Every structure is written in C-alpha cells, then in structure tokens.
Structure 1
Amino acid sequence: MTVPEPAQSTRSTSKKKSNERQFKGLSLSERKYARREKLIEAGIETYGTQGFFSVTVKDVCNEAKLTERYFYESFKKSEDLFQTIFLKQIEILQNNVMQAVMQHTPSPEKMIKAGLTALLHTLKDDPRLARIIYIDAMLVQELHNQATIHETMMRFDRMIQAFVMLASPHIRYSEQELSLVASGLNGYVTQIAIRWVMGGFKESIEDVLSACEIVFLSLVEKFSNREAN
C-alpha cells in the first residue's frame, strides 16, 4: 500500500529552510547588497578625504566596519570600487547640472548661469566628490585603460551640445562642428574646475563662475549674430 507523503511536514521543512536563509529579516542577496553599499560609502569617505593612492583595501574595510573578505565579495580590487564610486559621483554632478539648466529654459543666459552654478556648488558642497572626479580620477590609470574617463567626458560633451542646440535651434552648424565646440567648452570648464579643486577652492564661486560663463556667453552671442545674418 502506498503511503501518502506528509504534505504538512514538507511545507514545514521548506519554511524552515527559507527562514534559515534570513538574518535580521534580510536575505543573503539583500545582505550582500547592504555590504556593498557600505563599502561604497566608505570608499567615498576615504578616497574623497585621503586620496585614492593613500588608501588601502584594509582602510576602506575599517571605515565600513567590514572584513576584507566582504570587500572581495563585491570587488576584485581597489580600482573596481573607485570606478563604481566615480561613476556614481559623475551621475550626481550631471543630474544637478541638467536639472538646473532645464529649470531656466528657454533663456540661454539663465541656463548657462544656472548650470555652471549648480556644477560649482556641487563641487564645493562636497569636496570628496570634487577630489574623486577632478583629481584622483585623472590619475587612476585603470579608468583610462577602460576608457571610463573618455566615455564620461563624451557624456558631458553631449550634454553641452544638447544645450547649444536648445539655446540656438536655428544655428547653421553641422552636427560634427557642434560636437567639437561642445568638447572644447567641456575641456575649458574641466580645466578651470581642476585648478579650483586642487587649489582648495580659494577663489570665490562668483569669480570662478564669471570665468566659466564668459566663453559660453561669447558663444551664444556669436551664434545669435550668425542666426540673424
């Protein structure tokens, strides 16, 4: 005679195993994600205050209050964590600039001032972000080898090009010409930002803003004159 399987017992065993995978209400994947986020926050603090080349994996783990075993659970090496942090910081910076610009359309002058002001305040309000993006990222060879820096600069090039086209929709320049102009503007602001960050933000935001604005405003004026002709 066939004896039916004890369904209730099977369910109890399954539930028990499920409960065993939980710790403090979190699943294994949730705990791993939480540890990864702790390491990212610790990396922002240590890299952003001491510099990438002065920080070891152990330093990051001490800041995160995790063992090195958990570091290598999420990242193969320090450069991988730094790259993750760099891209997150770039996203914050880009979003702040874009939001400021879009709030002041369609006036080109107001869009320029708002976007540049947002960029400068983001840097000065969080010197850790500023150091990671404009000092250490330029020196970490891994980011150059993987084209991360190049791709990031291209993202800002495209953002500036979109602004130029929005500010001067009838401008008679080819897309390639506008791309080169955007790249030049991006490089101009980047070099000013690097000098400002490396100098410890000695110049006032107003002075740095004025220096950045002048090229953008001259460009808008030139484009306006060309449209009029």
Structure 2
Amino acid sequence: MHSGQDSADPEPRIWGGTTLTERRETRRAALLEAALDLIGEAGAGAVTMRAVCRRANLTDRYFYESFTGRDDLLDVLYRLVADEFREPMTAFAALDSPTRDRELAQVLVDKVLEDPRKSRLFLVEPYSSTGLGQTTIAVMPTFTRLIQDHLFNHVTDPVARRMAALTMASGNAGMFSAWLNGSLKVTPEQVVDHLVEVITIYRSMYRG
C-alpha cells in the first residue's frame, strides 16, 4: 500500500534539475502560450482543450492539472493580458506632466501593437461569443476607474466623472477592436492623435 509520503513530503522532488512545482508552472505556461497562438491564428473559438494540448504537445492530464476547462483557461489568460495592459497605463496616467496624455496614448498604442495575439484576445474577442463575457465585465471596471481617477479627476460631479470614463473606455475599446480587425484603416500616429483629442474634448465638457 502506498504510504502517501510523496504528497506529504515537504521537500520538493527534484527531477532533471527542476522541482515538481517548476515543471507544473512550465506546463501551465506552455498551455497558455498555445492558447494565445490559437487565438492569434483563428480567434478564441479555436481554443479547445484538445487543440491547446496538441499545440503545447501535452496530454489532457496536464491541461486539467492547471485548468478546470476551456473557459477557465480563457479567464486566466484574459486576466493576465489585462494586467499587462493596465500596468503601463496606470504608471503613465499617474504622471503629473503636460505631455502626460500623449505619453499615455502612445504607451497604449505601443502595447496594442506589441503582441497581436494578446491584443486580439483583449480587444476583439470580447465582442464575439467566446465565453469571455463575464470575465470582461469583471475586469473592465478597473480600466474605467483608471480613467475616472486620473484623467477626469478634476470633475467634481462623481456621476459626470463616471459617465465620462465609461463612455470613453467603451468608445476606445470599440475603436481599437475595429482597428485590429481591419475595418478601421488608420496609422498608429492617427490613433495616438485621436486618443489625445478625445481626452481633451471630454475634459472640456466638464470644467467644474
């Protein structure tokens, strides 16, 4: 009879120079990367357990080691990508500089262009029926608060401040989605100029 000592052993098991935890994290990263590749090629609809395992060259046993199913994988991946977008935006939004708006717009456009797979997941796929609806609803308020607290912090009316932030966030998300799917044909410089202009216009609406 197995003593169960393996699961209770506090010492990490070393094999091939890596611990069990390190190997598990490597497999998880490979599955997430495989899912990103599939999204970049054919959208989130192409992400299935079997397709991800095949791309990562792993069995379904290892898939379920990290994720309960396809939707769980997409949820985890979307949140990781959202964090990657939010971090540089937060840093630039908090700047107190006369060029802050353009710097923020530029860092956002640069981030969108950095990895088309991630941008497609974050900005295009939520508009399709991929199972990302609830995740997007949970994640997007953090971006709205960023706009609300930093770009429109001069607006004294909290309702007006929130409405401005919500409208700007949703409008820009739609614009980026159209740009990425090819239905809006503009240059990165035009997108930056547009973002700066939108911020300026929204600020001019609320001077109190």
TM over 0.5: yes
CA distance in 2, matches of 1:71, 1:132: 20
Structure 1 length-normalised TM: 0.78
Query: Which has the greater radius of gyration?
Result: 1
State the one-letter code of the partner of 1:208.
V
Task: Name the CA shift for 1:210/1:74 in 2 (closer, same or farther; >3 Å).
Answer: same
Partner secondary structure for residue 156 of structure 1: helix
Is 1:106 paired with 2:97? yes
Partner secondary structure for residue 16 of structure 2: coil
Is 1:48 paired with 2:31? no
CA contact (8 A) 1:124 1:201 kept: no
CA contact (8 A) 2:179 2:185 kept: yes
CA contact (8 A) 2:152 2:203 kept: no
CA contact (8 A) 1:86 1:137 kept: no
Structure 1 position 71, deviation (Å): 0.7
Is 1:164 paired with 2:151? yes
Partner secondary structure for residue 15 of structure 2: coil
Number of equivalent positions? 202
Corresponding position of 2:132: 143
Partner secondary structure for residue 186 of structure 2: coil
Where does the alignment leave 5 or more consecutive residues of structure 2 unmatched? 1-5
Structure 1 position 87, deviation (Å): 0.7
Structure 2 length-normalised TM: 0.85
CA distance in 2, matches of 1:210, 1:199: 19
Higher fraction of helix: 1
Where does the alignment leave 5 or more consecutive residues of structure 1 unmatched? 1-13
Aligned-residue identity in percent: 24
State the one-letter code of the partner of 2:174.
Q
Structure 1 position 165, deviation (Å): 4.5
Corresponding position of 1:33: 25
Structure 1 position 208, deviation (Å): 1.7
Q: Which string of whole-angstrom CA distances, capped at 9 and with x for unpartnered residues, describes residues 22-45 of structure 1?
A: 212333233222211111122122
Is 1:155 paired with 2:142? yes
